[in-house]
């Protein structure tokens, strides 16, 4: 049992740069959200770009560090398509479904978008983010990769939790009503 714990510490230590860099990316996104409440709006876009790019870069670097698990080309193709569709879904719900320009309107005057997938759950991007890493994990099949993927998913969950409880009610004038109508993450679940 002690050897297993020592191995986990070694894995975490060896991948600490990924952990630090991805944490910094999520903190950058959080700061961008916080600045949307204040009048210091000049850093919102750069912090958002830094946050998203760092998470994308971590994903690419981490995935390229491991060899793909030996499977038949058709199975590998299906897994890659699933990962690509998850990524496309994530980009769609974050940047296309919600008109990008409306994301930078003044806090308090903005109204939450409640159509499409945002009418089903308040944070649909979480599903696509988790599905992307689930798909990548079926390709890589590595314990270290799984642990870091789970860490990224937990960071994403913490970010949306903070947004949902603290930040979005201050940014969107109708967020409290939106919360009453649309569940946090589980479709059809009453508050």
Per-residue pLDDT of the chain (191 residues; tens, 9 = 90+): 445 566 666 656 667 888 899 999 999 999 999 998 886 778 888 999 999 999 999 999 888 888 776 778 888 899 999 999 999 999 999 989 886 545 555 555 688 888 889 999 999 999 999 999 999 999 998 888 898 999 999 999 999 999 999 999 998 989 999 999 999 988 877 65
Residue 16 is assigned to a structural domain of this protein = yes
3-class secondary-structure state, position 32: helix
> Beta-carbon neighbour count of residue 32 at 10 Å?
19
Residue 189 is assigned to a structural domain of this protein = no
Residue 112 is assigned to a structural domain of this protein = yes
3-class secondary-structure state, position 117: helix
Residue 137 is assigned to a structural domain of this protein = yes
Residue 25 is assigned to a structural domain of this protein = yes
3-class secondary-structure state, position 124: coil
Residue 188 is assigned to a structural domain of this protein = no
The per-residue pLDDT for range 118-134, each reduced to its tens digit, is 999 999 999 999 999 99
Give the residue carrying structure tokens 């860490």: 151
Residue 45 is assigned to a structural domain of this protein = yes
Instruction: Please tell me the predicted confidence (pLDDT) of residue 102.
Output: 56
Q: Could you tell me if 172 and 112 are in contact, meaning their C-beta atoms sit under 8 angstroms apart?
A: yes
Instruction: Please tell me the predicted confidence (pLDDT) of residue 66.
Output: 81
Identify which of 56, 67, 68, 69 has the alpha carbon closest to the alpha carbon of residue 18.
Answer: 56
- Domain count for the chain: 1
Does the CA dihedral 126-129-135-141 come out positive or negative? negative
3-class secondary-structure state, position 139: helix
C-alpha span between 113 and 100 (Å, rounded): 12
Give residue 38's domain range: 2-181
C-alpha span between 169 and 167 (Å, rounded): 6
Mean pLDDT computed over every residue of the chain: 86
Instruction: Please tell me the predicted confidence (pLDDT) of residue 1.
Output: 45
Length of the chain equals 191
């Amino acid at each position: 049992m002690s050897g297993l714990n020592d191995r986990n510490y070694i894995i975490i230590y060896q991948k600490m740069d990924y952990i630090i860099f991805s944490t910094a990316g999520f903190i950058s996104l959080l700061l961008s959200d916080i600045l949307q409440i204040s009048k210091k709006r000049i850093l919102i876009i750069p912090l958002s770009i830094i946050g998203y790019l760092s998470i994308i870069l971590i994903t690419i670097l981490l995935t390229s560090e491991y060899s793909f698990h030996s499977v038949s080309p058709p199975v590998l193709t299906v897994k890659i398509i699933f990962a690509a569709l998850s990524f496309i879904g994530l980009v769609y719900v974050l940047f296309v479904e919600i008109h990008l320009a409306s994301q930078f309107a003044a806090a308090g005057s903005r109204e939450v978008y409640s159509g499409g997938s945002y009418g089903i759950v308040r944070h649909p991007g979480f599903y696509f983010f988790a599905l992307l890493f689930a798909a990548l994990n079926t390709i890589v099949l590595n314990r270290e990769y799984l642990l870091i993927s789970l860490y990224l998913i937990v960071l994403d969950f913490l970010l949306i939790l903070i947004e949902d409880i603290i930040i979005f009610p201050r940014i969107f004038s109708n967020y409290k009503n939106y919360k009453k109508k649309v569940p946090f993450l589980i479709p059809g679940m009453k508050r």
